[in-house]
Amino acid sequence: MIWALHGAVGSTADWRDFAQEMRASHGEVRRLDLWRFLDCCPMPLTKFGDTLAEEIVRVDPEPVLLGYSMGGRLALHALLARPDLWKAAIIVSAHPGLKEEGDRVARREKDAEWSALALKGEWVDFLEQWNSQGVLQGGGMPDRTPLKNRRASIARSFVDWSLGKQENLTPRLHKVPCPVLWLTGENDEKFTGVAESAVPHLPRGEHQIIADCGHRVPWEKPVEFAEECHRFLSKHLKLNT
């Protein structure tokens, strides 16, 4: 089974089309609601990794992990929490962690601003500002208006799951034994550079760049994204017999 983790200010609906596309060839795509992990109380990144792995191991003996952006960072934590569990992983437009403490401090400060806006600001204004970021241009996403009901958990994610709270995982990636496909968009120069630095640390990692594409790879280039996932999974796994 493929376990799909959405990005920041995302939802399970983001993976609906992809799940339908993959079902025939690679089985069920379980679309995870990440906000439920923050609905009741704080959850640090390391605890999330342990919690997700514990949940999945009880129901799926051969899980494949897929994570986009924030979900990709969370996926990395789950991979490192139980390296022996996962059969494969697909990481999309994700960051393994900042190297400098000054950068982490600046990111925590910025994410604190996003958290306050998500929790107390006008939801429409928050969404407009979030989607106006240059890195997020391109690719139609499902309507975020209903996520207003989850705004407390979304606000908490900017604190608990801030990139500024995350250790640099790159030196630990050698502990992940399963095949890992890392995807980035050609026009997303920052995250393509990040991937080029991180992937060599993965024993069975490969980095593929999607042409004429930005950060939101699965939605800017859905056909090419699905084709890359299919190629990778068909090469390494037999998910549907």
What structural domains does the chain harbor?
A: 2-99+166-236 (3.40.50.1820)
Please tell me the distance from the alpha carbon of residue 183 to that of residue 95, in angstroms, as a whole number. 12
The pLDDT, as a whole number, for residue 26 is 85
Residues facing residue 209 across a β-bridge: 184
The pLDDT, as a whole number, for residue 241 is 36
Sheet with 205-210, strands from edge to edge, namely: 29-32, 2-5, 64-68, 88-92, 180-185, 205-210
**For residue 158, what are its two tokens?**
């900017």
**For residue 122, what are its two tokens?**
């006008």
C-alpha pair distances (Å), 44 with each of 77, 164, 165? 11, 12, 8
The pLDDT, as a whole number, for residue 164 is 97
- Taking 50 as the pLDDT cut, the residues of the chain under it are 239-241
Residues facing residue 31 across a β-bridge: 4
Q: Alpha helix (H) ranges present in 136-188?
A: 151-160
C-alpha pair distances (Å), 237 with each of 25, 110, 158, 173? 11, 40, 35, 21
3-state secondary structure of 52: helix
